[in-house]
Chains A and B, each alone.
Chain A
Amino acid sequence: MSAATIVNLPDQKTAVIPKKNYINAEDGILSWLFTADHKRIAILYLISITFFFLVGGTFAGLIRLELLTPQPDLVASDTYNKLFTMHGIVMIFLFLVPSIPATLGNFLIPIMIGTRDLAFPKINLLSWYLYMFGAIFLSAAIVLGGVDTGWTFTTPLSTHYLNTHVVTAGLGVFIVGFSSIFTGLNFIVTIHRMRAPGMTWFRLPLFVWSNYAASVLMVLGTPVLAITLVLVVLERTIGIGVFDPTKGGDPLLFQHLFWFYSHPAVYIMILPGFGVISEVMSTFSRKRVFGYSAVAFSSVAIALFGFFVWAHHMFIMGVSNYSALVFSLLTMLVAVPSAIKVFNWSFTMQKGSITFETPMLYALAFIGLFTIGGLTGVFLGSLGMDIHLTETYFIVAHFHYVMVGGMLMAFLAGLHFWWPKLTGRMYPESISQLSAVTSFIGFNLTFMPQFMLGYLGMPRRYHSYPPEFQVLNVLSTAGATVLGFGFLMPVLYLLWSLKYGKIAGNNPWQATGLEWQIQSPPLTENFIEMPVMDHEAYDYEWLAHKTEQEVTTVG
């Protein structure tokens, strides 16, 4: 990479980590388990979700290994079904949904809006405990023998035809749901009530806007999932007959209820990622985000439209042709705000002064992969095309482009970007850049062949497949291996950097957000004196002016 960087580290010979900070404010494991500090809770979440990401990733690896050959030879069919079910449940409910909001959001939102903590610190801690409690249920379901409903819990399969731990897993997801409701509620109240003086809505960083939009979805959508799962559990245990056609129930009702949550859930997962990309693109282009209000309002538009497109998961399920028309049209509308965002991010680079540190590389990877993910979504929203493509590997590739190519890349961009703030130390730059490039290549090699498999008609969730699909599957598994290395590297070098990383100083990126104007790692109270916001977000002139007048004090 080029020599031009914006990294501005203090002199490593004299620099030290601030004597007082949130990490060393109190000692002992209990001080972490009973903390009410949003930063410490964020770290608890970060450790938990990383663990479950590795669990889910292991399942994914086993799935790809099985699919190396057309025959069902590595594991038994039931085991395979459990693998993809648990891959989905773990990745969605224990990793993707909480990933950015509960870690980076938890850590940064109070600091970004200039306050000491979230509105309800104890509820914030409770939300982590609920997450762990639900995760214990899900882990129990896995350890006791697994669950094989598919992450969608489709009835009547889940209620009448399986002998696995459906109830345990359902309760686990139910409980984890409350953790995300509490997180969302906390964010909404905090963003409404606790902004610093002068921090008007249109001075908020876009990360806050997108987390706000995601929070609204969490609070309004998750209860519907909770109700649905309760109905599934009741149907399974005492046979209430809401979904069972032989008792006058309607199996399609389950699909409606489930997707009423699970489509907005897609936006719960991706919106916070959008926020990260806005921050990163701006910082590494040294330029304010192009069309701030368009980006902010497009988040709100996505949240709003996101609630009215759920039936696009059901186009071939015998919904009326006319309701399919309406849902297809709304799906096309929800694609527009995403396009607006992509163009605004691209134009943020225009006339900038761009450097390519790791967060920027991940962000650029995000833009490319999310564009593919978004445009292939239009294939699926287009009614007639959906008939051929739905339930095949095309849809698998599509949502992995959005969820992994989009969300996970954004998470890694954010994690690298704020790592100096979280820990006070830098990650190692060259190897991180290598991991970003490796992930990008591995990702495309894994999922690009799956688009072709999908058009060929290879159904998803197949343990064995016709031999003519093997070449593409081998490519995909090869890519998954590369991708696995790409994701494993950050886990290792970030751990290494906790002890050996360079000391970062307050503002290694010369970024404008309030979080960069305080020490790294921050004090428990965040700010020594409460900030007053007297400038727009992403105001680099303000920053330059401030830096000129300031005597550099480090340590």
Chain B
Amino acid sequence: MHISPVLWQFLVKWLNASALFPREASTIAPYTDALYFFLLLITIVGLTLVGALVFGFAIRYRKERSPIATQVEGSTLLEATWTIIPLALFLICFVWGALLYFRIFNPPANAMNIYVVGKQWMWKAEHQGGQHEINSLHVPTGQPIQLTMISQDVFHSFSIPDFRVKREVIPGRYSTVWFEATTPGTYHIFCTQYCGTKHSGMIGEVTVLTPDDYKKWTEESTSGMSLAQNGERLFASMGCNSCHSGSATSRGPNLANVYGSKLKLANGSEVLVNEAFLRDTILNPSQHVPVGYAPIMPTYQGQISEEGLIDLVEFIKSLKTNYRVQQTLTTSESNQVTPQDTTGVVKP
């Protein structure tokens, strides 16, 4: 039979381009693959055993060779064997899987935080230094990266198969995942939770750079404003500073150094102030009134985008003194007194 050389070339190329096993491009990948091969081994052994039993019995006890069946009740010893051995194997899988789970979902303390916002049908990445990306993510090798992710609309799921990491991106709630990339290159980002029409278009690329290239990239692609600086601007324009001015007489609590502290609430509970708490307090303030303050803060639900909330959270995290808050406040008050300068102020 004669195959056209064009077709032959196409077939060879097509088969060569096909993937059979994902690349190992993060520090987690070898651990996941080790467990995978262990599970695969159990499967193959189990299948071989069952196959050998079924085929063996089917051949040995087929009617031609075994015209009369011998009735057997059962065997407690055998029942115990095939209860205990699978149970033991499954428990090994459980423990191994649990260890891996904690490794993947507990980030190291020195991880660099990048925010990811998912929406129908794109991924937006927000770097601390003010780099904004859509459907792409640049990260350096050799540096643990933590992604703090949230969805603006429906459930999404952020997956990088070559890193073996994945986490649901949930509306109204931060979820995190971390990885440390090992090999420069580009890798797929998939949304793996069905999210509507263009679900399969909600894909992107993570570009892993060497630390030097990464440094160059950050310098070239910054928007000039860090997340905290954006947040500071928003803090002033939303009028947050009029209550959270940091002075002893102000109506809102002092926000300097509040991040990471333990806060006593009016309902008697004590909470750790983290990103999720800060975000939720802006949206549902009446749920989180600190002790000693009146529940007067209005909700900002629907008024600030997820990106804006990230900026605000980053600003509050960075707030070590109230010096600049008060300065901004004085400036904006003097602006209102002198209506000639109307930039950024809407006339009533």
Contact = CB atoms under 8 A, between A and B. Distances in A.
B235 interface: no
A383 B78 contact: no
A387 B164 contact: yes
Contacts of A351: 61, 66, 69-70, 72
Contact of A347 (B17, B39, B53): B53
Nearest to B163: A388
A457 B22 contact: yes
Contact of A353 (B54, B66, B157): B66
Contacts of A288: 71-73
A328 interface: yes
A449 to B, nearest CB: 10
Looking at A316, A317, A328, the one whose CB has the most chain B CB atoms below 10 A away is: A316
Interface stretch (A48-56, A95-103, A169-177, A462-470): A462-470
B57 A382 contact: no
A83 B101 CA distance: 34
Interface stretch (A180-188, A229-237, A246-254, A545-553): A246-254
A40 interface: no
Nearest to B68: A353
Interface in B51-102: 51, 53-54, 57-58, 61-64, 66-75, 78-79, 82-83, 86-87, 90-91, 93-94, 96-102
Contacts of B183: none
A461 interface: yes
B166 interface: yes
Contacts of B14: 470-471
A367 B99 CA distance: 32
Contacts of A349: 53-54, 57-58, 61
B195 to A, nearest CB: 6
A402 interface: no
Interface in A411-449: none
A456 interface: yes
A145 B221 CA distance: 45
Contacts of A540: 69, 71
Nearest to B64: A4
B157 A316 contact: yes
Contacts of A318: 167-168, 170, 173, 175
A332 B35 CA distance: 15
Interface string B191-207: 11111111111000000
A465 B201 CA distance: 9
Contact of A392 (B91, B192, B197): B192
Contacts of B46: 371, 375
A72 interface: yes
B4 to A, nearest CB: 19
Nearest to A541: B71
B102 A321 contact: yes
Interface in A80-101: 81
A379 B161 CA distance: 16
A78 interface: yes
B32 A388 contact: yes
A346 interface: yes
Given A335-B90, A387-B165, A287 B72 contact: yes
B39 A385 contact: yes
Interface string A355-395: 11000000010011001100110110111111110111000
Interface stretch (A14-22, A125-133, A337-345): A337-345
B335 interface: no
A12 interface: no
Interface residues of B, number: 92
Contacts of B67: 353
A259 to B, nearest CB: 14
A336 B190 contact: no
B153 to A, nearest CB: 6
A329 interface: yes
B71 to A, nearest CB: 6
B238 to A, nearest CB: 18
Given A2-B62, A77-B200, A317-B168, A468 B19 contact: yes
A246 B301 contact: yes
A223 interface: no
B20 interface: yes
Contacts of B175: 318
Given A336-B86, A540-B69, A328 B98 contact: yes
Contacts of A150: 194
A452 B18 CA distance: 12
A387 B104 contact: yes
A350 B73 CA distance: 12
B192 A385 contact: no
A290 B17 contact: no
A459 interface: yes
Given A4-B64, A316-B167, A367-B54, A383 B98 contact: yes
Given A318-B168, A464-B200, A383 B19 contact: no
A352 B198 contact: no
Contacts of B195: 157
Nearest to B302: A246
Nearest to A463: B200
Looking at B42, B98, B101, the one whose CB has the most chain A CB atoms below 10 A away is: B101
B54 to A, nearest CB: 5
B296 to A, nearest CB: 19
Nearest to B78: A347
Contacts of B284: 248
28 contacts: A72-B200, A77-B201, A81-B197, A157-B195, A160-B154, A161-B153, A245-B173, A246-B301, A285-B69, A290-B72, A316-B168, A317-B168, A321-B102, A349-B61, A353-B68, A368-B47, A375-B43, A387-B100, A387-B104, A387-B167, A391-B157, A455-B36, A457-B161, A457-B162, A459-B192, A461-B194, A462-B190, A471-B18
Given A294-B79, A318-B168, A387-B167, 6 more contacts: A81-B194, A315-B101, A316-B168, A384-B96, A385-B39, A456-B20
Interface of B: 14-15, 17-22, 31-32, 35-36, 39, 42-43, 46-47, 50-51, 53-54, 57-58, 61-64, 66-75, 78-79, 82-83, 86-87, 90-91, 93-94, 96-106, 120, 153-155, 157, 159, 161-162, 164-168, 170-173, 175, 188, 190-201, 284, 301-302
